Amino acid sequence: MSQTIELERKTTATAVNQLDQLKRFTRIVADTGDFSAIKQFAPEDATTNPTLILKAAQMAEYAYVVDKAIADGKKSGLTGKALVQDIFNRLLVAFGLEILKIVPGRVSTETAAEKSFDVQGIIEEARNFIALYQKNGIGRERILIKIASTWEGTRAAEVLQKEGINCNMTLLFSLPQAVACAEAKARLISPFVGRILDWYKKSTGKDYSATEDPGVQSVKEIYDYYKKFGYNTEVMGASFRNVGEILELAGCDLLTISPNLMAELSKNTAPVERKLIPEQAKASNIQRLELNEARFRFLLNDNAMATEKTAEGIRLFAADAVKLQTYLVDRLK
């Protein structure tokens, strides 16, 4: 009888899909603005950006979210560009509010890419987002404000964190950026795995296995650094190109994953091994990096990949924000 029970236990354990196995030691975050996908995979948190919101806003099933943002914006008394910007911000928050009805944890809302080098502009926009959420009964503990990992972004995050506004530092491609974010006491960082891989594949013409993946290696380095030196900033791997990258980062504090990759993980029951372990990270021989503004700018400039991908990411998010605003102008007409 006991052998039968043991066999059933092993069979049940084997049948657990990889997404659920990951959830045992990593906080899973949905990287989408699609509510149905979030409901399907039951993540703890969700992240959005202008590209994801642009895609979701144009889906017929979410027209009611756009319509409400427009209706609320019209009540503001604003006109012209100021009205469009107000509706744009309301729309980002409106999607966040809907997502928070589904996930038990937090949602990330992104500041304007065009303000990536404007400390005060970032701070003011973050405060505005928090105020909009609070008007809808959502406390700041459930919100992460996404900010590009420029030097100015880290300075804004330092101010906001002191006000109890938690920041998710995005467009992050290097250890110096990660260290600056941690020194600013940002709540969370989102190093971009797939975009790093994209750059190296294009630069070298090589294909990389999951273990050799330069994006994976970058996140491991950052994770080791944070754990070794006792930073409280959370590490959330982002921008994945394949499930191999995700599985190599099993054990990371958080992983934000697109619906298509969550679906792939949910269909596979192969065992998932934890790869990132705090105790091992603390034993690493990584050296402390001393940073000030000049050192940060030099090290970032010295890293061609990080420089190019940060700049490219800011441009792409800014372009998609313009597309979304154009879409809203058409809806207003």
**CA proximity to 99, closest of 148, 124, 136:** 136
Q: Could you tell me the sign of the dihedral formed by the alpha carbons of 242, 244, 247, 248, in that order?
A: negative
**CA proximity to 89, closest of 102, 70, 107:** 70
Question: Which amino acid is it at 50?
Answer: P
SS (H, E, C) the chain: CHHHHHHHHHHHHHCCCHHHHHCCCCEEEEECCCHHHHHHHCCCEEECCHHHHHHHHCCHHHHHHHHHHHHHHHCCCCCHHHHHHHHHHHHHHHHHHHHHCCCCCCEEEECCHHHCCCHHHHHHHHHHHHHHHHHCCCCHHHEEEEEECCHHHHHHHHHHHHCCCCEEEEEECCHHHHHHHHHCCCCEEEEEHHHHHHHHHHHHCCCCCCCCCHHHHHHHHHHHHHHHCCCCCEEEEECCCCHHHHHHCCCCCEEEECHHHHHHHHCCCCCCCCCCCHHHHHCCCCCCCCCCHHHHHHHHHHCHHHHHHHHHHHHHHHHHHHHHHHHHHHHHC
Active-site option among 115, 146, 220, 227:
146
CA distance 233 to 220: 14
The alpha carbon of residue 10 and the mean position of all alpha carbons in its chain are separated, in whole angstroms, by 35
Query: Can 146 be counted among the known catalytic residues?
Result: yes
Beta-bridge partner residues of 143: 107
Cβ atoms of 200 and 304 closer than 8 Å: no
* Residues involved in catalysis: 146
